[in-house]
Amino acid sequence: MALQSTGRKPKSRIGKWWGSLFGRLFCKRSIIIISEHKTQHVPFAIGAQLFAMLGVMAVVGWASYSSGSYMAAQHVLVEKDRKIATTTEQNAKVEAEFSLLKRDLMKLAEEEGKGGKGKLGDFAKMVTEQYAQEENAVGQDFAAGLAEESAAEKYNAVFARIDYLENRVKELQSTHDQMIADIRSTTGGKIAELEQVIAATGLQTAALVKKAEIKRKQDEARHEKYGRIANGQGGPFEPVRSSILQDKETELYFNLKRLMTLTEVVNTMPLSNPMASISYRKTSGFGTRIDPFRGRLAYHSGMDLAGPAGTRIKATSDGKVTFTGWKGAYGNTVDVDHGLGFVTRYGHLSKILVKNGQTVKKGDVIAVQGSTGRSTGNHLHYEVRYNNSPLNPSNFLKAGTHVR
């Protein structure tokens, strides 16, 4: 009996410890809501606490995975461009070397045919020594053989070297062409994917691309004039030669530029969900609806999303806060300008957590859901505006599910 009691006692202590820890973390809680006329206690059940914790973990995991995928894709493109540049430079170097070698050999052959002695053989030996470091075994055998060969045999050996260089050029060109084909295929697929994401929002890709290109040129001109304030940089301006891709692969060069522009457009668009909680419901859509106060048809410029009391609201893309405060029927409101004409509006808030002029990142918590202004209950009125005209936010949320 003593042995059995000793065997069960550690297990009972561990169970009690875990039970106590779970009880402290997930216990019955209530949220106190204080309004002008009353105080309300809203129970926050243990199950809801667990779901909230899992939701936060899922959102953080998804954001980390998305950021990592995007950075990996950018790194792959940069690395491929570097490899193309290296291969092309090697190709050009071998081609130039081959042309000079062939010209000198032809000149020496003509001189030897006119009575010159020993020049071709001496030049062949020099060429052999030059390439001995690149291919030791082949070069040493080649140099040793030339020492005992006649002028005619030396002449043939040098032209054999030319054949080798020609084959090497062909190999480099084949590698270059295969790399270009791989990048062209990948680039084309990504461009089509991003164009589909933009089309899903109902906007014209061409107009957004034009806006992004104009903005990039303005940013470049501003940086050229004033410099980058954030990071100390300097030194004289020394322009580099044009891109190798731009010179020899014009179509691929412009496709890569288009891919970068489309990526910038998609990253600017508000495609994520503004509700930090996973347990929310859509209570009203965009467009014509029955007004909840008058019971008549009315136009609704956004969509209403209702989550548990105290649900935190997050920015749906990077941007700058352009308005915080009371805005008529919207109640407590936050406007965020994301650039390229995109602005998101968050209304009926119970609490605003950002300031006017503040820069926010996608996923930053900016407010708390509420029922201020012309509202029948706790919810978020969410708008997506483009060039100051409201668009259907549902299209942007659906498009966001296709962004990897």
Mean pLDDT, residues 248-262: 82
Dist. CA 23–CA 46, nearest whole Å? 10
> Where is pLDDT greater, at 180 or 266?
266
pLDDT at 136 over 60: no
Q: Which residues make Cβ contacts (< 8 Å) with residue 362, sequence separation at least 6?
A: 63, 272, 314, 315, 316, 317, 318
Which amino acid is residue 318, in one-letter code? D
**Stated pTM of the model:** 0.55
Domains of the chain: 80-228+244-268 (no CATH), 272-285+301-400 (2.70.70.10)
Mean pLDDT, residues 343-369: 96
Output the pLDDT for position 226.
Answer: 67
Ranked by mean pLDDT, the top range of 109-123, 228-242, 291-305, 327-341 is 327-341
Ranked by mean pLDDT, the top range of 67-71, 164-168, 185-189, 316-320 is 316-320
Q: Which one-letter DSSP state was computed for residue 352?
A: E
> Where is pLDDT greater, at 145 or 25?
25
Output the pLDDT for position 230.
Answer: 47
Output the pLDDT for position 6.
Answer: 46
> Where is pLDDT greater, at 79 or 392?
392
Would you call 30 helix, strand, or coil by DSSP? strand
Dist. CA 205–CA 194, nearest whole Å? 9
Question: How much is the mean pLDDT over the chain?
Answer: 77
Beta strands in 187-241 (DSSP E): none
Could you report the per-residue pLDDT of 27-54, keeping only the tens digit for each?
Answer: 767 777 777 667 776 776 777 777 777 8
In DSSP notation, 238-303 reads -PPPPPHHHHH-HHHHHHHHHHHHHHHHHHHS--S-SBS-SS-EEEE-SEEEE-TTT-SEEEESSE
The radius of gyration computed from the CA coordinates of the chain, to the nearest angstrom, equals 35
Would you call 233 helix, strand, or coil by DSSP? coil
Pairing of strands 312-314, 303-306: unpaired
The band of 360, judged by pLDDT with boundaries at 50, 70 and 90, is very high
The band of 185, judged by pLDDT with boundaries at 50, 70 and 90, is confident
Could you report the per-residue pLDDT of 76-106, keeping only the tens digit for each?
Answer: 777 777 777 777 777 777 667 666 666 666 6
